[in-house]
Amino acid sequence: MKCSACQKGSNKVSTVCTYCREEFTGGSDSNSICSKCTANVKQYGKPRACEICNVIAAFIGNKCKRCVVSESKWGAPVTCQQCKQKCAFNRDRESKQKQVNSKVLCWLCTIAYKKVLSKAKRMESAEGQLHKRKADPFSLGKSHSRSKPESHQSKKSKSSTSKTDNLNSVSPHGNENAANGYLHDLNIVLVTQLQEEVESLKKTVAAKDKELIEKERKMTEFKTLKMETDKAHREKISSMQAMYTNTIESLQQKNTEYLKQIAALSKANKRGPSTVTSSNGI
């Protein structure tokens, strides 16, 4: 039997935050964001993927707070021995101890690895208690002495034995279930990262489409302006050519008239002296 405090604690279901990937209580299917990330979203907006650990928790800059603090303490990130990504931090420089079980793991792999170990330990302890009960003669004597009382006690004993049998049947597959849970956590992280990457790519494509549409609009305006400018230039050139032609024609007409006047004057000058000599001879 559990006390009221333990029952209340066991009734609380822990939820993994969509952004920072930390567990918190009080979540639901509609609300899977912790209070810290909710406050950060209200203050800084939707986070981006951290350039080191790829967790969607970079509210300020391109790195999440966890990686910023770890990088300031332990230096540049190294390759994680589990996921093979360069997102782990080697703490041997200060503590001379590996992070988890003589392995350098990133934060997500560390959490998943600890979950697997805790599940395996719980299953091993349950299996050990079961074997201990089977090997203890006093427990067997107590079970025989309690086989005669009331029917509801016999039902409880049957249910307890059935539970232990279930634990015994499940325990060989404990490591497999733990590994599946670890892979499930990693799959959730990867799916979240892919969703965020798809959203960011959609935003990038939308921005590029908007830029292309704006450039096409400007090109259309430039072509229209060029056509209008060329048309104005052609009209101006044609009008100037017409004006030049008219000016040349008028000048040619005036030149012709001037030539006629000059010819008439030259003829008049030639006739003048002959008439004078003839009159003097008479």
The per-residue pLDDT for range 146-196, each reduced to its tens digit, is 444 444 444 444 444 444 444 344 444 444 555 556 566 667 767 777 887
What is the residue-wise DSSP string for 229-274?
HHHHHHHHHHHHHHHHHHHHHHHHHHHHHHHHHHHHHHHHHHHHHH
Beta bridge partners of 58: 48
**Mean pLDDT for the stretch of residues 63-85:** 88
Tell me the percentage of the chain whose pLDDT exceeds 90: 23
For the cut 50, the answer to whether the pLDDT of residue 276 exceeds it is: no
Provide the pLDDT for residue 232: 92
Q: What is the mean pLDDT of the chain?
A: 75
CA dihedral for 107, 109, 111, 113, sign (positive or negative): negative
pTM of this structure: 0.42
CA-based nearest residue to 220, from 230, 212, 208? 212
- Please indicate whether residue 57 or residue 194 has the higher confidence score (pLDDT): 57
Provide the pLDDT for residue 179: 53
State how far the Cα of 35 lies from the Cα of 245, in Å rounded to an integer: 86
The per-residue pLDDT for range 115-128, each reduced to its tens digit, is 887 777 777 777 66
**Mean pLDDT for the stretch of residues 254-264:** 91
